[in-house]
């Protein structure tokens, strides 16, 4: 009996601090899961979510081979703001200076060109809008009139 009390005492001395350690650890982990660490684009389903500002504009003629006969680059004032969000299910929300447009995955494409890089291309009637993922260039294609308007974030020599 005496031996049993000693083993219970030694058990209490070692097990209770370990149990309280695990209880504290569990409480800390639960408090971290309850914290709001702010919005996370991956957590809310956004595959791409960016906002761009464009300060310069250039008009060009266009044909099946691309833009040509471009006019001078002009300062755009006020700047144009474009927001683009592509959800993980493919739905796109495009915000052009406060006007919102919604697209299904079948109404836009994703691609790459050798001049400006990766892009999203949106189609509507005879018009196209190409938003480059790096945010430096945006192209509005007026296919009916064979024109393209480029919007730039910055001018490079």
Q: Is residue 41 part of a domain?
A: no
Task: Look at the block and give the residue holding tokens 């995955």.
Answer: 105
Q: For the chain, what is the domain count?
A: 2
Same domain flag for 26 and 103: no
Q: How many CA atoms lie within 13 A of 8 on its CB side?
A: 5
User: For 13-56, what is each residue's pLDDT tens digit?
Assistant: 554 455 566 555 555 544 544 444 444 444 467 899 999 999 99
pLDDT of 130 higher than 90? yes
pTM score above 0.85: no
d(CA 110, CA 130): 9
Dist CA 73 CA 62 (whole Å): 16
Strands 74-87 and 66-68: unpaired
Overall average pLDDT of the 96-111 stretch = 94
CB 139 within 8 A of CB 58: no
51: left (phi over 0), alpha (psi -120 to 50) or beta: beta
Together in a domain, 70 and 110 = yes
Task: Please indicate, yes or no, whether residues 62 and 14 belong to a single structural domain of this protein.
Answer: no
Q: Residue 99 in 3-state DSSP?
A: strand
Examine residue 40 and state whether it is found in any structural domain, yes or no. no
The predicted-structure confidence for 70-79, as pLDDT tens digits, reads as follows: 999 999 988 9
User: Is 8 in the same domain as 65?
Assistant: no
Query: What confidence score (pLDDT) does residue 124 get?
Result: 87
| pLDDT for residue 2 is more than 90 | no
Share above pLDDT 70 across residues of the chain, in percent, rounded to a whole number = 70
């Amino acid at each position: 009996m005496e031996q049993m009390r000693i083993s219970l005492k030694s058990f209490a001395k070692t097990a209770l601090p370990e149990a309280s350690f695990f209880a504290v650890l569990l409480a800390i982990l639960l408090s971290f899961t309850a914290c709001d660490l702010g919005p996370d684009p991956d957590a809310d389903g956004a595959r791409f979510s960016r906002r761009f500002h464009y300060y310069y504009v250039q008009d060009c003629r266009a044909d099946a081979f691309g833009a040509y006969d471009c006019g001078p680059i002009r300062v755009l004032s006020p700047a144009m703001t474009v927001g683009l969000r592509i959800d993980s299910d493919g739905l796109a929300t495009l915000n052009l200076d406060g006007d919102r447009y919604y697209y299904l995955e079948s109404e836009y494409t994703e691609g790459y060109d050798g001049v400006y890089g990766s892009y999203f291309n949106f189609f509507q009637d005879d018009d196209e809008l190409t938003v480059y993922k790096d945010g430096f260039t945006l192209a509005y294609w007026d296919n009916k009139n064979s024109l393209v308007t480029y919007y730039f974030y910055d001018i490079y020599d």
